[in-house]
């Protein structure tokens, strides 16, 4: 995960750590290399600027360079700023205390990993929080999407809403709410339709489903490998249906990390989970500090 970025940055910082004394110019040279590494990782330009300015100011404007271990202190500053960039010290938990069934609406483009993430989340909620979920697919556009969720439901032993051919998303959402109440589910996961691009029809459907189901959480599923596009998709969605968080999938295959490092500051939305593989247990709570530690080796 984020290997190429990690290699680049550890290379720069090993150089800094190894020195007994540091001059202002050494820090500026190192920051120039960090800037290039972040841009090559597809981090948004304003986020890169903010990061470099913050690190440079803290490293140069204080007593850091006069200290006995200046290299280590600069690396500590970088690490703290990286955590900040990823969303702050703490992970942002799901809001699960609302009146059951707590509705979690899953939104995103086709192929982002939305259906898989819905099942992963149901499994996670059962195992980590002891919550009983029901899942319902509202995706009437993609052939076999509803069946796909039913199959995943069987694998993780989670109830799915029976499929009624020809029913439209808003009606499915209504039926799902009733069924979840009847079955005394703690959580109702709505897997909404995706399309290849953000378009008006998709957004209108999303809003209609949201107003019917009053979700406590609206989670956008985006593919980490798409870098800045993932961030732009998040911006477009949250203008229509305010998101409560992001699930970043395929982090296992992402060597660069641009989406993870830009998301919070460009969209204001926290990354709540990371998808780290195809298996249904490959979902991790997103911990900014742990991710920063991984990047810095
Ligand atoms: P949807 O169209 O958004 O519902 O996408 P799917 O849930 O059907 O996922 C598309 C493909 O991506 C499937 O082959 C999933 O197994 C795969 N996938 C989803 N999440 C991840 C992930 O975190 N890592 C990896 N490596 N593959 C994933």
Give the pair of three-digit tokens for residue 66: 């006069």
* Residue 66 pLDDT: 79
Burial, 223: exposed, middle or buried (Cβ in 10 Å; 0-12, 13-18, 19+)? buried
Distance 81 CA to ligand 1 centre (A): 31
Atom of ligand 1 nearest to the CA of 283: 23
Q: At what angle do helices 45-60 and 70-85 cross, to 10 degrees?
A: 150
Whether 35 has a binding-site annotation, put simply, is no
Whether 249 has a binding-site annotation, put simply, is yes
Instruction: Enter the ipTM.
Output: 0.99
* Residue 107 pLDDT: 97
C-alpha separations of 247 from 221, 265, 269 in Å:
5, 16, 11
Q: What is the pLDDT of residues 253-268, one digit of tens each?
A: 999 999 999 999 999 9
Ranges of the chain whose pLDDT falls below 50 = none
Segments in the chain forming alpha helices (H): 3-17, 24-40, 45-60, 70-85, 114-129, 145-156, 169-182, 200-213, 228-240, 258-267, 288-295
Length of the chain measured in residues: 297
Distance 277 CA to ligand 1 centre (A): 8
Cα atoms in the Cβ-side hemisphere of radius 13 Å centred on 130:
0
Q: What is the pLDDT of residues 42-63, one digit of tens each?
A: 999 999 999 999 999 998 877 7
Give the pair of three-digit tokens for residue 36: 């290039």
Whether 193 has a binding-site annotation, put simply, is yes
d(CA 243, CA 245): 6
Query: Which residue has its alpha carbon closest to ligand 1 atom 11?
Result: 113
Burial 176-211 (b: 16+ CB within 10 A, else e): bbebbeeeebbbbbbbbbbbeeeeeebbebbeebbe
Residue from 112, 116, 274 to probe ligand 1 pocket by mutation (most atoms less than 8 Å from CB) = 116
- The reply to whether ligand 1 has any atom less than 6 angstroms from the CB of 192 is no
Atom of ligand 1 nearest to the CA of 274: 23
- The reply to whether ligand 1 has any atom less than 6 angstroms from the CB of 236 is no
């Amino acid at each position: 995960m984020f290997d190429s970025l990690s290699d680049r940055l550890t290379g720069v910082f090993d150089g800094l750590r190894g020195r007994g004394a540091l001059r202002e110019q050494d820090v500026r040279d190192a920051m120039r290399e960090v800037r290039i590494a972040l841009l090559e990782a597809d981090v948004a330009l304003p986020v890169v600027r903010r990061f470099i300015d913050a690190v440079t100011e803290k490293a140069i404007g204080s007593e850091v360079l006069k200290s006995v271990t200046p290299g280590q202190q600069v690396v500590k500053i970088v690490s703290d700023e990286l955590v900040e960039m990823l969303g702050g010290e703490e992970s942002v938990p799901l809001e699960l205390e609302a009146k059951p069934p707590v509705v979690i609406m899953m939104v995103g483009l086709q192929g982002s990993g939305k259906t898989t993430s819905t099942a992963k989340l149901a499994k996670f909620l059962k195992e980590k929080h002891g919550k009983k979920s029901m899942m319902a697919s509202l995706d009437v556009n993609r052939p076999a999407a509803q069946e796909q969720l039913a199959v995943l439901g069987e694998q993780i032993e989670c109830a799915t809403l029976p499929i009624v051919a020809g029913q439209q998303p808003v009606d499915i959402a209504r039926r799902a709410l009733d069924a979840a109440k009847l079955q005394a589910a703690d959580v109702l996961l709505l897997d909404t339709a995706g399309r290849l691009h953000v378009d008006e029809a998709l957004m209108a459907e999303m809003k209609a489903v949201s107003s019917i189901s009053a979700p406590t959480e609206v989670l956008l599923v985006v593919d980490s490998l798409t870098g800045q596009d993932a961030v732009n998709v998040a911006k477009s969605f949250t203008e229509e249906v305010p998101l409560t968080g992001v699930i970043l999938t395929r982090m296992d295959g992402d060597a660069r990390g641009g989406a993870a490092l830009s998301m919070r500051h460009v969209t204001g939305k926290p990354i709540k989970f990371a998808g780290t593989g195809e298996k249904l247990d490959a979902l991790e709570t997103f911990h900014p500090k742990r991710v920063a530690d991984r990047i810095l080796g």
